[in-house]
Structure 1
Amino acid sequence: MAGEILWPVALGIKLVYAGAIMGGGVTASGAFWSLVAALVLGLLPGVFRPERQPWVRFGMNVAVSALLFADLLYFRYFGRPMSIYALLQVNNLGGLGGSLESLWSWREWVVWADVPAAYVFARRSCRRPKPSIPALQAVFFGLVAAAAVGGIWALMAVRTAPAEAPAAFSGGESRPAVGRGAVQRYGPLGHHVVDALAILREGEAAANPQALEEIAAWFRRHDPELRDSFDNPWRGWAQGMNLVLIQVESLHNFVLDLDIEGIPVTPNLRRLREHALYFPHFYPQTIEGNSSDAELLSQTSLYPAARGAAFYRFAGAAYPSLAKKLRAQGYAVLAVHGDRASYWNRAKMYPGLGLEPFVSLEHLEADEIIGMGLSDRSLFRQTAERLTRTPEPFYAFVITLSSHLPFELPEEERTLPLPPELDGTIVGRYLESIHYVDRALGEFIAALNQAGLAERTLIALYGDHDGLLWHKDRDAIEAAFGGPIDFEAWVRTYQPVPFLIYHPRLAGETVATIGGEVDIAPTLSNLLGLPASAWAGQAMGRSLLAPTPSYAVLPGGDYAEPAFIDPDGIRPALPAWAEEALRVADLIHLTRYVERTIEEGAGAGDDRSERREP
């Protein structure tokens, strides 16, 4: 009998506990629905034969504990509850071992605390005489009474999230409450129910015959902004040049001006900046696809899918892309990355982006491994060697890896002297990793110079997303650099990632225009002489080489809270037109808009060049 009563009680405690962590505190609604879920699950074993009920109860306990453990671990890593689409990305876990282990704490293991006792109760229950029907009825009504009392308690004794935390997006007409907002309203299990219902609604939206016209209408309104942004003095400045676009793992903008013990953290990036167009007010716009979302943004000028990673959900779909447009201008194209081709499903997604051939770890000499894959030093060295053999003009997309969490380098590569208060901390390890990447980048630039490619090559560089995160590293940054950091200060100082466009003939210029990763492809196209019409009806960004408009939309996701930034300030609530843009972007992915309209209409099929081996 004890097992029958303790099972829903323990479950209710675990659900409220997990909801408090993921929701930022206990809420009345979240606690109530967690207790209701505990009651329902507590009664479910009753539909089985009496001799099976103890083990059904134990199996459900293990399953719920495993789900909550995964939820909490995912939340600790990304700062948002796990979605169903995250399960599509389970292949990524193979390369994240060190990252995940660095995040485990006793808080995640609490949800397993009752499992040993549950096992003991299950074994003992199988040996006891089964309770009579009246006894079972007493248990049932006792559980109902406990749930009622718990619900009343939850409504009266409420602890809300800390006041200084940014408000969770609670939804509106354009997007339902998801993530933390759903946990606050419905509890952890309710969040997964809401998540599943949202997936069903996505299918309905994609099947709506008006969706394609809604997308086309949005582009008709946006295209004048795109066209006007291309009308600037920089148009065609780099026409005919090679292009190397580098996506740097976890690179914040603030490190470019940071000295530690009198030594610059990024001396080579500082030198590049002296001959670069530098955009300091530039923001990551990833959602749940993280690095892969950054790649999608930079290549297609489309906002990512609202849920999950487009690289998994829409692998094989064709997209308009910078690579395709440059290939049409006679460019040779290649992508280089020091991880497995299967990571983030790149092997299946890159053909639809025109990024072929794709030179992954399988096609590189694995002569030096750091963290998750090939060291950035080896990656840059081998990339430079390949570029000397690549026909010009070429477009090379290079994705680095060595500065990935948990930011651990071999001892001989830790060349940044750290003061005792930083040594061994998450901030200290991060700065060491970025210092290493900066050194590898300097060697790459030197190799291009030695090969005689520098004068004919435009080098653009940006950070994919933040490495130090608001929801888990703010205290460490405050301790490292002094002073409290509120949400606005975080977004203004620590959220931006750098965007630089380097050429030795450029005079260093800081561009004040506010923008984000969705603007990379139009900006580079503008410099390379492609007309705005090449992106009409396709790009959601614009060229940042024009001073206006100046803004960035942060959709909110695994690494950031939603925000809108323009010259008037930083606002956590997105304006209605920005919400509409994100909803339209999601429709573009869901409806495969490009395949069904742009490429089919042009008679181009999937617009891919013949595949070449690396």
Structure 2
Amino acid sequence: MNTALKKIRRGLNTKLGFFIFSVLLFAVKSYWAYKTKFNLGVKGGVQEFLLAFNTLPAAIILLGIALYFRGRLSYWLMSIINFLLSTWLFANILYYREFSDFITFNVIKGSGATSNNLGKSFLGIMRPSDFCVYLDVIVVILILLFHVLRVDMRYFKIRYAATITVIGFALFGVNLGMAEGNRSQLLTRTFDNNYIVKYLGLEAYTVYDGIKTTHNSAIKAQASKKDMAPVQRWIKKNYAGPNMQYYGKAKGKNIIIIHLESFQQFLIDYKVNGQEVTPNINKLYHSENTLSFDNFFHQVGQGKTADAEMMLENSLFGLPEGSAMVTDGTTNTFQSAPALLHQKLGYTTASFHGDVPSFWNRDNAYKSFGYDYFFSKEYYPTTKNGEIGYGMKDKIFLKDSVNYLDQLPQPFYAKLITVTNHYPYLLDKKNKTIDALKTGDDTVDPYVQTAHYLDQSVGELLNYLDKTGLRKNSVLVLYGDHYGISNNHQPAIAKLSGKKSVNNYDLAMFQKVPFMINMDGLQGGVNHTYGGEIDVLPTLEDLLGISSNKYIQFGQDLLSKQNKQIVPFRNGDWVTPKYTKYNGDYYYTKSGKQIKHLSKSQKVTVDRIQKWVTTDLGLSDKVMNGDLLRFYKLPGFKKVNKKEYSYNLKKALKKLKTDKKRKNSVRAQNGGKSTLDDYTTDAPELQNSTNRKFPK
């Protein structure tokens, strides 16, 4: 035994031995993180082996850089590289816990557009065990500092270092070959970053993402008009004609969109200790004048809220990496809802958001979309304790938004973006009026409290719309932008679902979010059509009497009898009324029963659906990455000139007051007096608040 230990110690006292020791520590740590910190969906012996094996090539290549240097420098350089790689792993652990995805270069590029309050979010999700990724770094540094091992000062020949580098690349080649054998076309047809990390490792994924990002930039530079041809053929082939029962029923009506932050479908009619979490939204959902969709899914990627907005305004998918609003919102050409409604029907368009205008690059993207107004945080009075998390508290935000809503010339298209029901679900005690959940998950339990607060806020807004008569001349659209509880909280999801555990089918169905359209006189009811956020714009266009058969939009009218009812998720999974595919598993959608072995006919069907989903996502990405709409002339549509739009506070307020159509506003119809006094709220921050003045 002593002899063996002496041999090991002797080996560790060489530079090569120390290098192997460092590589093995890094590999073990990475494998531990993959297994415990991420949900990679590893199945079978091959995938399990690859998950362990893929930790070696990158470690050998990157830590091997130190072998090209002499003496103590090579030892310390090895530790520094290990520290940097560990920090990257640590950052991805935190990001994944919140977003169920890995960091991309587009995310980094757009981090300045989303940095507000992110620090607070990440502090809230850190766990002590996360810091274990630094254990091997600390061990190695202590070994060096206390001379536990001797530093080998001998010259390590360059050809030996190069050989080790070649071995690293050779092992990666073996890794890639085995991965391709288990997952065909891994790098060419993958929409899910989990697959890349599972098969090739985090470091290889980072390189892949960097190459892909650079490639996408080149695509935009090389794109031409001919690239639109396959897109137009696809759109024409999959166009779903309008349902004449509903076509034009909302013509001339105001459109008020209420963006329900992180709001999931399971909240509808959900109770905590006998108390409804969302009584106001429940009432609206079940109204005879509301079209409610109970099989409606979010389809966002890394862009989350920004992706939801991109689909809502453009019927274009967000990108598989980063946020399209951040990376392309400033420069791309769009044919968006605000510009379409303004040009075709004379709508005044505005977005309301109680946070900084740069968040998700909205101040630039909205100009590309053609929004007349963007009322951001600077347009609102300052209220003591009036903000939490990602901006103004919803009750204060919605009340104060009325100051501008009632000045908009009608008909208008207004989008109100709530934020209080956003992770980490912070809410002060005086605004909590419902018990927290008791799942034992500190992240999940307060979710119903912020959702209940959001519901109260919506209820106050609805009362105002009724009191002023504005609701009679408006279409209300409410939708949840994305999940509030990620798949990383499966034990809590199981408790919420009344189950002992959840499988991939349960997780797929958990991606449902509400979508409802309310209008006085609308023939409503719960509609069981399967659809998602990509379908919102075509549905609204048909209700407004706009023929969209020439538009480059990837959604289908949810009311159309020709709707294919195929719901693509951003990662390439999908749901249809008959089959569901999620994380590699197939299920019968109605029963939730897993299909462990596809029959020949079933395989033909699911392959056809998969091809449709992959084509739909891929062509949408081509439109976005290539900025292809700059080459498409839409009949009767003038290309948006971003220079014509300004969200400067003074300029916007002046424009609002001097608009020639202002006589059509609610305020003008109220004798020029503000209707703000018609708005009643129980927001405690406003009960004794004085000297709250709107900017002039």
Structure 1-normalised TM-score? 0.87
Structure-2 separation of matches of 1:603 and 1:504: 33
**Do the aligned partners of 1:174 and 1:579 also contact (CA within 8 Å) in 2?**
no
Unmatched 5+ stretches in structure 1:
161-167
Which of these residues, 100, 105, 109, is aligned with residue 122 of structure 2? 100
**Do the aligned partners of 1:427 and 1:480 also contact (CA within 8 Å) in 2?**
no
- 1:580-591 to 2 correspondences below 5 Å: 580-591=615-626
**Do the aligned partners of 1:82 and 1:179 also contact (CA within 8 Å) in 2?**
no
Which of these residues, 201, 220, 229, is aligned with residue 233 of structure 2? 220
Q: CA deviation at 1:342?
A: 1.4
- 1:142-221 to 2 correspondences below 5 Å: 171=185, 175-176=189-190, 179-203=193-217, 205-206=219-220, 212-221=225-234
**Do the aligned partners of 1:324 and 1:608 also contact (CA within 8 Å) in 2?**
no
The answer to whether structure 1 residue 376 and structure 2 residue 386 are counterparts is no
Size of the aligned set, in residue pairs, is 587
Which of these residues, 62, 66, 70, is aligned with residue 45 of structure 1? 66
**Do the aligned partners of 2:70 and 2:153 also contact (CA within 8 Å) in 1?**
no
The answer to whether structure 1 residue 335 and structure 2 residue 351 are counterparts is yes
**Do the aligned partners of 1:405 and 1:467 also contact (CA within 8 Å) in 2?**
yes
- 1:552-591 to 2 correspondences below 5 Å: 552-556=566-570, 562-572=572-582, 575-591=610-626
The answer to whether structure 1 residue 68 and structure 2 residue 85 are counterparts is no
Q: CA deviation at 1:371?
A: 2.0
Code of the aligned partner of 1:213: K
Residue 106 of structure 2 corresponds to 85
Q: CA deviation at 1:78?
A: 1.8
Residue 263 of structure 2 corresponds to 251
Q: Percent identity, please.
A: 24
Q: CA deviation at 1:234?
A: 0.6
1:564-593 per-position Cα deviation (integer Å, ceiling 9, x unaligned) = 222213223651021011111111011111
Residue 541 of structure 1 corresponds to 555
**Do the aligned partners of 1:229 and 1:545 also contact (CA within 8 Å) in 2?**
no
Q: Secondary structure at the match of 1:439?
A: helix
The answer to whether structure 1 residue 319 and structure 2 residue 334 are counterparts is yes
Q: Secondary structure at the match of 1:13?
A: helix
Structure-2 separation of matches of 1:348 and 1:369: 24
The answer to whether structure 1 residue 452 and structure 2 residue 469 are counterparts is yes
Deviates more, 1:409-418 or 1:395-404: 409-418
Residue 431 of structure 1 corresponds to 448
RMSD: 3.3
Q: CA deviation at 1:233?
A: 0.8
**Do the aligned partners of 2:297 and 2:531 also contact (CA within 8 Å) in 1?**
yes
Structure-2 separation of matches of 1:122 and 1:129: 8
The answer to whether structure 1 residue 278 and structure 2 residue 292 are counterparts is yes
Residue 165 of structure 1 corresponds to none
**Do the aligned partners of 1:216 and 1:537 also contact (CA within 8 Å) in 2?**
no
**Do the aligned partners of 2:254 and 2:413 also contact (CA within 8 Å) in 1?**
yes
Residue 503 of structure 1 corresponds to 519
Residue 366 of structure 2 corresponds to 350
**Do the aligned partners of 1:551 and 1:564 also contact (CA within 8 Å) in 2?**
no
Which of these residues, 230, 235, 241, is aligned with residue 247 of structure 2? 235
1:244-290 per-position Cα deviation (integer Å, ceiling 9, x unaligned) = 11211111112112122222111111221213111111111111111
Code of the aligned partner of 2:67: G
Structure-1 separation of matches of 2:347 and 2:69: 66
The answer to whether structure 1 residue 519 and structure 2 residue 535 are counterparts is yes
Q: Secondary structure at the match of 1:52?
A: helix
Change over 3 Å in CA distance of 1:398–1:138 after alignment to 2: closer
**Do the aligned partners of 1:169 and 1:177 also contact (CA within 8 Å) in 2?**
no
Residue 32 of structure 2 corresponds to 17
1:13-41 per-position Cα deviation (integer Å, ceiling 9, x unaligned) = 23333343444557323433321222223
Structure-2 separation of matches of 1:381 and 1:281: 31
Which of these residues, 622, 629, 645, is aligned with residue 594 of structure 1? 629
Structure-2 separation of matches of 1:215 and 1:517: 23
Residue 385 of structure 1 corresponds to 403
Q: CA deviation at 1:498?
A: 0.7
**Do the aligned partners of 1:15 and 1:34 also contact (CA within 8 Å) in 2?**
yes
Structure-2 separation of matches of 1:510 and 1:402: 27
Code of the aligned partner of 2:329: A
**Do the aligned partners of 1:43 and 1:140 also contact (CA within 8 Å) in 2?**
no
Residue 458 of structure 2 corresponds to 441
1:95-142 per-position Cα deviation (integer Å, ceiling 9, x unaligned) = 223322222113321111133334344556799876234xx479969x
The answer to whether structure 1 residue 268 and structure 2 residue 280 are counterparts is yes
Structure-2 separation of matches of 1:486 and 1:320: 40
The answer to whether structure 1 residue 413 and structure 2 residue 428 are counterparts is no
Change over 3 Å in CA distance of 1:602–1:389 after alignment to 2: closer
Structure-1 separation of matches of 2:257 and 2:464: 16
Code of the aligned partner of 1:357: Y
Structure-2 separation of matches of 1:395 and 1:299: 11
Q: Secondary structure at the match of 2:321?
A: coil
Unmatched 5+ stretches in structure 2:
1-12, 585-608, 654-696
Change over 3 Å in CA distance of 1:599–1:508 after alignment to 2: closer
**Do the aligned partners of 1:513 and 1:550 also contact (CA within 8 Å) in 2?**
no
Structure-1 separation of matches of 2:327 and 2:515: 28
Q: Secondary structure at the match of 1:542?
A: coil
Code of the aligned partner of 1:257: D
**Do the aligned partners of 2:436 and 2:446 also contact (CA within 8 Å) in 1?**
no
Residue 483 of structure 2 corresponds to 466
**Do the aligned partners of 1:174 and 1:583 also contact (CA within 8 Å) in 2?**
no
1:210-249 per-position Cα deviation (integer Å, ceiling 9, x unaligned) = x6434333323423543x4324211111111111112111
Q: CA deviation at 1:199?
A: 2.6
